Amino acid sequence: MTFKVIVIDFSQIKSLWETRVKKYKEHCKKEKQRIEKSALQKIKQEWNFMLECRSKGIPQSVYLKNGFVDTELKILEQNERKSRIDKQDLSLNGKTESDEFIFQLNGEHWEELPESLKEKTYLKELRVNKTRIQIIPNYIQFFIDLKILDVSQNKITCLPPEIGYLANLKELNVSFNNLKNIPPELGDCENLEKLDFSGNLDLTELPFELSNLKKVTFIDLSANKFSSVPICVLRMSKLQWLDISSNNLKDLPQDIDRLDQLQNFLLQKNEITYLPLELTNISNLRLLVVSGDRLVEIPSAIMENPLLKYVKILDNPIDAGSDIPDIEDIEESYQDREWFEKEFMNAYIKDIADRESTPCYTTKVSLNLQI
């Protein structure tokens, strides 16, 4: 089953969308201000205030003054504060195990991990996202119970060799950082099942030692500078999802069929001109995404396979002279655009997977953005 999809320039579509959203928000803000000044809004506010007081068991004598509702009183705030304190006491007494073993940190004001983290070596999940942190300290080796390490969308420049001590680690997400290499010691984390190295832009290879990761079922290498599928990836015998889109691939290895458990293979935005016949030997393959502009040779068995969703993306950028409004204060880096395109493709692929029936061909995609 084949799908031809025309994809226009994501960054310009995003710009157009953000402009219209901005205008819509300004309109909503003015409308809200107008309503707030109206007498009808004041009556509605008093009525809602009375209803809420009644629902919380607050007597009329407290909130009525000379027959008028006094909405300026802090009755509800005091009641809410008391309720919150009671809930906190309950949560401290009945704190769940999942909350206790998960550490989360985000925000651009963070430039390094807090000192208190050193004492939390019992953690099972560590999630640090969208910060300005550049270094993962070597004391990470003491977090031996860690199962999920998610440090995506930071400024991390390297991973410490000590990461190899995390023998129980199952998921590692270091996407959209500034990594240029991966330590070979990561190959000692033999329980890893999911790896995400996407969006680092300058990764060109993976160490051969990662061949030891026989339990990996998912690996994302998109938006980097790989010129070939890494040898260690071809040795991950349980691999089911491989995304190596937005790289510098010119061809696929002849032994690509070693990945006989592969189900989803994303190849778009590379320089591939042909697909090897060996791809047809991967009987479990259900989704194959490629860029169709450069492809000149495709095995007919791929296009005729009724179990395979073969998606050919045809790049069709918006003409540079198109009338797209200027957007102030919106600056995107190449990494930001790659992240946006990645989210778009994930949503598109999920949509294809969820459809019960789909047309054999999609020759045109019409986009209509309207607020």
Per-domain residue ranges of the chain? 40-91, 97-248
The pLDDT assigned to 99 comes to 75
Q: At what angle do helices 75-93 and 39-55 cross, to 10 degrees?
A: 40
User: Residue 17: how many CA atoms within 13 Å on its side-chain side?
Assistant: 10
Which stretch of 133-137, 156-160, 296-300 has the lowest confidence by average pLDDT?
296-300
3 state SS of 344: helix
Domain 97-248 has CATH 3.40.190.10: no
The pLDDT assigned to 319 comes to 46
3 state SS of 46: helix
Q: Which residues contact 136 (CB under 8 A, 6 or more apart)?
A: 113, 151, 156, 159, 160, 163
Q: Which residues contact 203 (CB under 8 A, 6 or more apart)?
A: 179, 180, 181, 182, 197, 221, 224, 225, 226
Tell me the C-alpha distance between 205 and 251, whole Å: 16
Residue 125 CB burial class (10 angstroms; 0-12, 13-18, ≥19):
middle
Residue 139 near residue 114 (C-beta atoms within 8 A)? no
Which stretch of 74-78, 163-167, 204-208, 256-260 has the lowest confidence by average pLDDT?
74-78
Residue 171 near residue 191 (C-beta atoms within 8 A)? no
Residue 245: CB atoms within 10 Å: 26
pTM higher than 0.75:
no
Residue 213 near residue 188 (C-beta atoms within 8 A)? no
Tokens, residue 256: 């690509």
pLDDT tens digit string along 82-121?
A: 555 454 544 444 445 567 899 999 999 999 999 999 999 9
* Helices (H) then strands (E): counts for the chain: 8, 13
For residue 149, list its beta bridge partners: 126, 172
The pLDDT assigned to 61 comes to 65
